[in-house]
Amino acid sequence: MNPLDKIQVTLKSGNEKLIFEDQPLNFSLIDFWRWSASDLLSNATRGRFAEFIVATATNIDFKQIRDEWSAYDLETPEGIKVEVKSAAYLQSWLQRKLSTISFSTKAAFVWDYASSKYEEEKRRSADVYVFCLFHHTDKQTADPLNLNQWEFYVLATSKLNTYTRSQHSITLNSLKQLTSCIDYVNLKEEIIEKYNFKLEI
């Protein structure tokens, strides 16, 4: 057995306590989660939250912990590999104007667990991309938990690969020329449909 092998992470409840000298302190893991992830409009947290939203729509098993090093963000029960990107007009900080919407679409080096090295060529590993836009523009009423304040765009990766204007990012206007906006309730069906489109071409 390799003592430096991959750690098998277990799902936490949030009730786990910090420990010092074998004694539990009055601070729990959920305190850390609240402290570090309550700002759902921050870029980093919003990105993970968008992944969670897509996961809820596609019936992903939440007993399987999110893999930070996976070549794609999610895998549906149907075996569809999904990359999730997010953007928003609003940010937590003071803004002079609403943010311009653009999504990163960069190909990436994939980590090979067998060799513990990155592959030599960049690629897009997912079957489907889901672009999640928090479209609300009023900071006083903005609530990322309200899924009516989000809209979604789904593209087969094969179709995204035909977008030649840029291989690093895509604007909202360009995205609208390639696919239609949908809401949360239609996400699962749209992902399956775009995946089937990928298989047909």
| Closest to 130 (Cα-Cα) out of 66, 61, 188 | 188
What is the distance, to the nearest Å, from the Cα of residue 117 to the centroid of all Cα atoms in its chain? 24
For 85-97, what is each residue's pLDDT tens digit? 999 999 999 999 9
The one-letter code for the residue type at 152 is F
| Local structure of 201: helix, strand or coil | coil
In this structure, the strands spanning 81-88 and 128-134 are: parallel
Give dist(CA 161, CA 167) in Å, integer: 8
Token digits of residue 13: 């409840």
The tens digit of pLDDT for each residue in 59-117 reads 999 988 998 878 899 999 999 999 999 999 999 999 999 999 999 998 877 766 666 77
Query: Which of 158, 188, 177 shows the shortest CA–CA distance to 77?
Result: 188
**What distance in Å separates the CA atoms of residue 56 and residue 187, rounded to the nearest whole number?**
10
